[in-house]
Amino acid sequence: MAADAVRAEPRSGSGLGWLLGARLLLAGMSLGLAVTLDRIEGTQGPGIWGVYWTIVAAFVATIGSALRVDRTRNPDRFATLQVAIDVAIVTALVYFSGGRESVFTFLYALVVLYGALLLDRGGVAFSVGLAALAYGFVLFGVELGWLPALRDDARSQPTVVLLAYWAFYAGGLLMLGMLANTLVAELRRTGAALESKTSDLEHLRDLHRFTVESIGSGIATIDHAGLVTSFNPEAERITGLFASEAEGRPLEAVMPGALSVIEAREANAPRDTGPGRDRIAFRNERGEDLFVGLSASRLLGPGGERLGHVVIFQDVTAVVSMEQELRRSERLAAVGEMAARMAHEIRNPLASISGSVQLLQGSGASAGSADPAHDKLMGIVVREVDRLNALIGDFLRYSRPAPLALEAVPLAELVREVAGIAEGRSSHDVRVELACEESVVVLADPAQLKGALWNLWNNACEAMNGKGTLRIRVTRTAPGMPPQDERLPGRNAAGKPGWADRRAKGRGVLELEDTGPGMTSELQDRIFEPFFTTKQDGTGLGLATVQRIVEQHGGSIEIESEVGRGTRFRLLLPLAEEGA
């Protein structure tokens, strides 16, 4: 691993730059040392000029290498070549400055050191071996006559002494190279571990920051003085303040009432070690009135010391609205249940009143004491009792819908049946146009669906004042209906097995279109409200009951109307399996 780390270094531009910089430093040191010796000793001759020319060659080699460093394809080979060049430069300096007595021999150690910094173990062995051989060549070359002696006063030494001298110096270079390589490898490992830990720390820091920024709750931290020290984006959205605006301000100024939650949490400590929770009303900087669910916990440091508090809050305005609506619905349901019971109880006295009045009418007529005014009043009582009884019946049917008895119902057949009944009972001059697809079979309770259709039929005839055209169409929607045709199913339909599958296959469509006066948009918005009616004698429960029946089947009802152009009701019902 260490070798790989060392080997990877020359591949970077910084590693090769260090190598060239080291040579430049070596050349500069050599030049300074040569000039100093020249002035102290005052020596002249080929030796000193050889030193100068060698230093010039070092500078030239550095410039040439710098020009080629960006174009090299093999950085390892390039670095090894530079070490070899440096060994050659040092060898020339040692030779021209006195051989074994040269002051430049220490430069071999410098070459080995930065070779260990930039090369792997093989490169270190190469630099040590090359430096030892080069120094041995100078040392033995002059003594054995391989190289000309540049100084006349050089003293000859026995070969054994020179060999011992060379072996000692080569061993020193080897130990230096091994030690440097070990230290560099350890440095590489330490650097890699530090880099890994730094990367992990940065990853954790980024993960913490992204988590705080992405979480769907507002998070704020405060110090002991109650001043805001941090603010996440969700807190900005809820409060309408930017983090830069909130930080440094008292929490009570940013979110009035939040401090009381923290104080309540501290008041319960140490009995309550969990976070304090509460719900407060809050108006943000945008002027929006919100309800905020808020909790607070102690913010602890690494040693468990208290640094402040963490405040977590959420916009629960929608939840509060739902709770209020639920409570309102529960109250209305209770009132409706009570009203239904009262209506049911009222029907019995009404039946008794109606029967008693009819007996009084019959007894008066049989006694021959008929009074026209008396009979007229009796007739009004009976008629109004019947009307009140019909109203109570409609209300009970609306408030207590009968359970569905679902079966496959051919929609065209049901429409023709209702049309036949209407033709036999109605005295209206209404022309009926039927356009029915025979294959449309819906899953429905035939009795309740027939009642809904009959109610719509009567409304249409009454809207046209008994004259006009009533068009009835039976079709189906294609599977994958557009979203605007989808409606939420009623409570009794939701959750039935296979209901979603049947809806996905399309819907049966029943349309009733009249040529009456039409309705304004205001009337269309209220037409399905219970007890809302435009008829003088209407109860306002007919269309509300129709909507209840359709939704109970898992369908939906739509209305399209334009003043002077008529009205169209559109019922969408789930198809039966065999009709799908």
pLDDT in tens, 241-254: 898 888 889 988 88
Contacts with 207 (C-beta within 8 Å, 6 or more apart), sequence order: none
Respond yes or no on whether the N-terminal peptide bond of residue 275 is cis (omega within 30° of 0): no
Give the pLDDT band (50/70/90) at residue 569: very high
Please spell the DSSP secondary structure of 463-492, one letter per residue: HTTTEEEEEEEEEEPPSS--GGG--PPPTT
CA distance 77 to 124: 13
Cα 50 from Cα 447, distance rounded (Å): 121
What is the spatial distance between Cα 473 and Cα 436, in angstroms, rounded to a whole number? 5
Confidence band for 497, pLDDT divided at 50, 70 and 90: very low
| Distance separating alpha carbons of residues 406 and 502, to the nearest angstrom | 14
CA dihedral for 80, 82, 85, 90, sign (positive or negative): negative
Q: What is the mean pLDDT of residues 205-231?
A: 86
Distance CA 425, CA 209 (A): 76
pTM: 0.43
Mean pLDDT score of the chain, rounded to an integer? 76
- Binned at pLDDT 50, 70 and 90, residue 482 comes out as very low
Q: Report the candidate in 153, 58, 177, 52 with the shortest Cα–Cα distance to residue 101.
A: 153
Residue type, 81: L
- Long-range contacts (CB closer than 8 Å, 24 or more residues apart) made by 180-186: 180/112, 180/113, 180/116, 180/117, 180/124, 181/6, 181/116, 181/121, 181/124, 184/2, 184/6, 184/116, 184/117, 185/2, 185/3, 185/5, 185/6, 186/2
- Mapping DSSP to helix (H, G, I), strand (E, B) and coil, where does residue 447 land? helix
Phi and psi, residue 303, nearest 5°: -95, 15
Highest mean pLDDT among 31-40, 98-107, 148-157, 393-402: 98-107
Cα–Cα distance for residue pair 56/60, rounded to 1 Å? 6
Residue extents of the structural domains in the chain:
2-194, 218-315, 321-399, 407-579
End-to-end CA distance of the chain: 69
What are the angstrom distances between the C-alpha of 530 and each of 327, 333, 502? 20, 14, 30
Query: In whole angstroms, what is the distance from residue 512 CA to residue 546 CA?
Result: 13
Give the integer Cα–Cα distance in Å for 102 and 105: 6
For 148-194, the pLDDT digits (tens) are 766 555 556 677 777 887 888 888 888 888 888 788 788 878 888 88
Residue 2 pLDDT > 60: no
Q: If you ran DSSP here, which 8-state letter would residue 310 be given?
A: E
Nearest Cα to 74, choosing from 64, 62, 82, 63? 82
- What CA–CA distance (Å, rounded) separates 20 from 22? 5
DSSP assignments along 255-282, one per residue: STTHHHHHHHHHHHTTT--S-EEEEEEE
Which residues are paired to 409 by β-bridges? 442
Could you tell me which residues are beta bridge partners of residue 508? 476, 573
| pLDDT tens profile 70-126 | 777 777 777 778 788 888 888 887 888 777 677 777 778 878 877 777 777 777 788
A 10 A CB-CB count for 367 gives 8
From the candidate CATH numbers 3.90.1150.10, 3.40.50.300, 3.30.565.10, 3.40.640.10, the one assigned to the domain spanning 407-579: 3.30.565.10
Domain range 218-315, its CATH number among 3.20.20.140, 3.10.129.10, 2.60.40.10, 3.30.450.20: 3.30.450.20
Pick from 76, 86, 74, 77: which is nearest to 20 by CA? 86
